[in-house]
Amino acid sequence: MTTPTLLPRVAVLGYGSQGRAHALNLRDSGIDVVIGLRPGGPTSERARADGFDVASLRDAVASAGLLALLIPDMGQAQLYRDVIAPNARPGACLLFAHGFNVHYGQVVPRDDLDVVLVAPKGPGALVRREFEIGRGVPVLYAVHQDRSRHAEAFALAYCAAIGGARQTPLRTTFKDETETDLFGEQAVLCGGVTRLVQAGWDTLVDAGYSPELAYYECLHELKLIVDLFYEGGVTRMHEVVSETAQYGALTRGSRVVDDATRERMRAVLAEIQDGTFARQWIAEYASGNARYRALKQADLAHPIEDVGRSLRARMPWLAGAAQPATKNMQAPA
C-alpha cells in the first residue's frame, strides 16, 4: 500500500466541506498542509482557528508540490487560468475531487503537470468523522496526466492520507467518475427522488388525504428505507419490511418506474455524455443563474416544505442530525 509519506507539501485550495476534511486528515497523517484562500474570504478565520497556515491562493500554489483544487466546480476554470497555470511549480501534481472541469475541457492542464482525481464517496463531515474513528469512506481515484510517472502513487498516497485507503480505493477515469456522478445526482439521488417524493405527496393530498399524513408516508419514512439500502442493499430492505410492503413494491413499483422512465433516464445520460448538460450549466452560470434561481425557488416553494417544517419542529431529535448532503460541496475560496 502506498504510504502518505510520498506526498510533498499540499496546498488545499478552498476550505468548505471537503476542503476542511481533507486538510485536517492530511495534517493528522503527517502531511505538511497550507490552505489557499482569497484574502478576507469567509472561511479564512475557520482555517486559522483550526491551526492552519493560510496564504493567498497565489502563494499557496507557488509553495506546494501537490495542489488540491477543492472549490466549487464553476469557479475552478478561472482559478486555474488566473492563479494555478502561471504559478504552479514545474512538475507539480494537480488534484481534483470531481472530474467535471477536466472532462468537459474547462480546465486544460499544463503539459508538465501530473493530474489526478481523488473523490471520496461521502460529504466532508463524514470523511472527517470516519477518519477520526479509524475508518474511511470509499474513494475513487483516477489519473489524467502522468508526466512524472508517479501520478498514481501520488493519488494513492493522498487516498491513504485522507483515510480512503482503509478501504480499497477504486480506480476509474475522469470521464466515468464525472458522467456517473452527474447521472446519479440528476436521475436518482437529487432530481429523481425529489420529484418522486413531491409527486407522491401531491397524489395523496389531491385525493383528499391529510398533508401531514402524506408527508410521513412519502418523505419522512424515506430515510428508513434509504438506511436499509445503505446497510445492505435491496436485500436488506426485503429482510426488514413487511410482506405486505414487499408484495406491493414488487407488483406496483414497475408501474411507477417503467420502460418509459428508463428511456427518459437514458436521454438524461446521453445529455451528460455528449456535453449538453455541461454546456447548459456553464452558460447558465455565466449568464447570472437567473433560471437556476427560479427553478430552485419553485422547488423550495412546494407546499410539502411548509408541512415538513411544521412537523419537524415536533421532532427535537432531528436538531443537528443533518450533514451536508452534496459530496462535492465546497465553500468559495
* Residues assigned a catalytic role: 98
Q: Does 29 count as an annotated binding residue?
A: no
Q: Half-sphere exposure of residue 249, counting CA atoms within 13 Å on the CB side?
A: 10
Pair 13, 69: CB distance under 8 Å = yes
Give the dihedral of Cα atoms 299, 304, 310, 316; nearest 10 deg. -80
Q: Does 16 count as an annotated binding residue?
A: yes
Q: Does 273 count as an annotated binding residue?
A: no
Instruction: Scan for cell 485550495, then name that residue.
Output: 13
Q: Does 124 count as an annotated binding residue?
A: yes
Dihedral sign (CA 14, 182, 146, 120): positive
Give the distance from CA 317 to its chain's centroid: 26
**Cα–Cα distances in angstroms (integers) from residue 236 to residues 230, 271, 298, 330, in the given order:** 9, 33, 35, 33
**Nearest by Cα to 22 from 176, 136, 189:** 136
H or E element: which one contains 13?
strand 10-13
Give the start-end residues of each E strand in 70-164.
93-96, 114-120, 139-145
Pair 269, 180: CB distance under 8 Å = no
30: three-class secondary structure by DSSP? coil
Q: Does 148 count as an annotated binding residue?
A: no
Q: Does 275 count as an annotated binding residue?
A: no
Q: Does 210 count as an annotated binding residue?
A: no
| Residues 79, 48: Cα–Cα separation, whole Å | 22
Q: Does 17 count as an annotated binding residue?
A: yes
Give the angle 197-201-202 at the CA atoms, nearest 5°: 115
Which residues are part of a known binding site? 15-18, 38, 43, 124, 181, 185, 217, 221, 242
Which residues are part of a known binding site for substrate? 242
Which residues are part of a known binding site for Mg(2+)? 181, 185, 217, 221
